[in-house]
């Protein structure tokens, strides 16, 4: 809210997250740095993804929620590097095994995820390196629920 208010007045707020992993040594990080650490260590980590896949529909929902939050941070803070959106897309929808898992366990969630990535494209928050991304996202949003 504060960052949005500052932006509405023409400014740019420095959004900070407090890392209390070590409570004895809390560390302030920029929101960009904090989200980067979470995405790299958790969201696109193959072990995390495999663990979610073992949980079936609930794991698929968790992956969808992860994308929703990442794109939400990008939309509201404009501090999320597009490389994180690209890495998340590559790990979830550009990986055949994970995409098939999402489509089988949570087809509506897979479509929602594709819409969130399309939103990032429309808003200029993400410029994918591959030209095929638009067609891939379009295909996913048209998938039928079994």
Phi/psi zone of residue 145: left (φ > 0), alpha (ψ -120 to 50 degrees), beta?
beta
pTM (predicted TM-score):
0.86
Percent of the chain with pLDDT over 70: 97
**pLDDT tens per residue, range 42-66:** 999 999 999 999 999 999 999 999 9
Q: Looking at the domain assignment, is residue 79 inside a domain?
A: yes
- Exposure string of 122-138, with b = 16+ CB inside 10 Å and e = fewer, is eeebbebeeeebeebbe
pLDDT higher than threshold 90 for residue 39:
yes
**Is 136 a member of any domain?**
yes
Residue whose tokens read 């939103």: 119
pLDDT tens-place string over residues 26-36: 999 988 899 99
Higher-scoring residue by pLDDT: 66, 77: 66
Q: Which domain holds residue 64?
A: 31-141
Q: Is residue 14 part of a domain?
A: no
101-141 pLDDT, tens digit per residue, is: 999 999 999 999 999 999 999 999 999 998 899 999 988 88
Residue 3 in any domain: the answer is no
The domain tally of the chain equals 1
DSSP 121: H
Spatial distance between the Cα atoms of 67 and 105, rounded to a whole number of angstroms? 16
The answer to the question of residue 74 being in a domain is yes
Has residue 83 been placed in a domain? Answer: yes
């Amino acid at each position: 809210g504060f960052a949005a208010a500052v932006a509405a007045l023409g400014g740019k707020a420095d959004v900070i997250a407090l890392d209390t992993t070590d409570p004895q040594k809390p560390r302030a990080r920029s929101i960009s740095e904090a989200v980067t650490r979470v995405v790299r260590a958790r969201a696109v980590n193959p072990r995390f993804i495999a663990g979610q896949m073992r949980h079936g529909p609930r794991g698929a929902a968790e992956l969808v929620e992860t994308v929703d939050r990442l794109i939400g941070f990008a939309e509201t803070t404009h501090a999320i590097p597009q490389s994180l959106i690209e890495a998340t897309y590559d790990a979830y929808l550009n990986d055949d095994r994970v995409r098939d898992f999402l489509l089988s366990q949570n087809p509506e969630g897979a479509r929602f995820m594709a819409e969130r990535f399309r939103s990032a494209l429309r808003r200029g928050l993400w410029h994918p390196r591959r030209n095929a991304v638009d067609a891939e996202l379009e295909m996913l949003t048209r998938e039928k629920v079994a």
